[in-house]
Homo-oligomer: A and B are copies of this chain.
Amino acid sequence: MANIVTPRTLSGFMELAPKDQMVFEKIKQTLETTYRSFGFYPIDTPILESSEVLLAKGGGETEKQIYRFQKGDTDLSMRFDLTVPLAKYVAKNYSELTFPFKRYQIGKVYRGERAQKGRFREFYQADIDIIGDESISIMNDAEVPSIMYKVFTSLGLVDFTIRLNNRKVLGGIFELMGFSNDATDIMRVIDKLDKIGEENVKKELADIGVSAESADMLLSLLSFTGSNEEIIAKLKEYEGKSEKLDLGISELSDVVYYMEKFGVAKEAFKIDLTIARGLDYYTGTVYETTFNRHPEIGSICSGGRYDDLAGYYTNKKLPGVGMSIGLTRLFYILCEKEYLNKNISAPVDVLVIPMTEDFTKAVEISNVLRDAKINTQIYFEKKKFKHKIGYADKLSIPYVIFLGEDEIAENKVKVKDMVTGEQSLISLEEAVSLIEKGKLNNANDKCIILD
């Protein structure tokens, strides 16, 4: 026997057991189906890119986390998000694409972070973006979060809030106060409000030259609570004084109005003027999504509107709006907190257990079942009966068909409902109906169960 190496998976890399993987796949499928239903194309960019291309913009904070290496004389990097590859893709294929270009990508990205519980080095992002050529309607800013709302509710996630803001609103307010040049700095400070509190924000604002009076006014506006309509009404008190602010208010109103038309429940989205998003490239609407039962995990889905997707690859002006779900991290929490619905993890609808040496009939009826879109496995192994039925049980397969000499002679099958324990000797056609009915009953089972 050769030397044995202990099989292990690197820390920070998620590798799921089969039943969990089934749920993960169902989640991924729900995302894809929903994205598709709104007209997003899938794209699939390489995981490895030339470092020169991938880091064209500079890696920023994540640069030292990047998996970068040499192979032959090529300097390679593994992608660390799906936005840079999208920028590359759109710039590269500009002349072949039809704009607005709607794309989704669900793929693994890599960041060599310090390993810790709940932090991953290989993780899925699930992005949607709508890219325009020169311009893109504000309607897209309402559609994108509405799609994410539909994704989450389809999964069975409840008790989440999409929080939104518009950077033009913030920028306009700063302008009114005479700080237009320091807007980015102020936004960075404002973004920390949740983390460091009002007093520390005031101190930091003073450090960058904001008067105490202005800081008070700003913070009173940002801390104003009320319905989306009330917040917009409050903002409208400042209307007519700054073009930027007026535009921001108009955009924010449109987004709020149309999100409701798209079917987003009123309680699920909320204007939050304190959201600025750290990234410099957002220019309009910005989004964060809180899973209210676990605010500690941070935003589960974020994004926003940007004016310039790919300035480091092309002179074309490519504005867009997008959001991204941190899928692996979300899944990890759902798994940890036992919110996943393990009832949807059966690999097939029915297990056929032949009780004869010859498998001809078992194969034949399985063909019929599969043609009727019933996923079917035949148990082929020579094992004790207990073992065979235990197999269906362990895999949570909802139905078993026993096929012995008697059943074959009578041209029937014996079907056992593994949940109720009920057995019936029926024709194959009746078995198909029975199993189809069972499938239909479970067709609306959600991936996530939150009571």
Contact = CB atoms under 8 A, between A and B. Distances in A.
A312 B359 contact: no
A344 interface: no
Contact of A10 (B7, B49, B96, B121): B49
Given A312-B2, A363-B261, A18 B380 contact: no
Contacts of A69: 67, 69-71
Interface string A281-317: 0000000000000000000000000000011111100
B310 A7 contact: yes
Nearest to A55: B5
A43 interface: yes
Nearest to A359: B139
A137 interface: yes
B50 A8 contact: yes
Interface residues of A, number: 100
A24 interface: yes
B7 A381 contact: no
Interface in A138-167: 139-140, 143
25 contacts: A3-B312, A5-B56, A6-B53, A8-B88, A8-B92, A10-B49, A15-B45, A15-B89, A16-B44, A17-B96, A24-B44, A36-B348, A38-B376, A39-B375, A47-B108, A48-B122, A67-B76, A69-B69, A72-B112, A100-B380, A102-B347, A139-B380, A140-B380, A143-B380, A261-B363
Given A15-B89, A137-B382, 19 more contacts: A5-B52, A5-B53, A7-B53, A7-B92, A9-B46, A10-B76, A16-B43, A18-B97, A36-B348, A48-B122, A67-B69, A67-B76, A98-B395, A102-B377, A132-B381, A137-B380, A139-B359, A139-B378, A261-B364
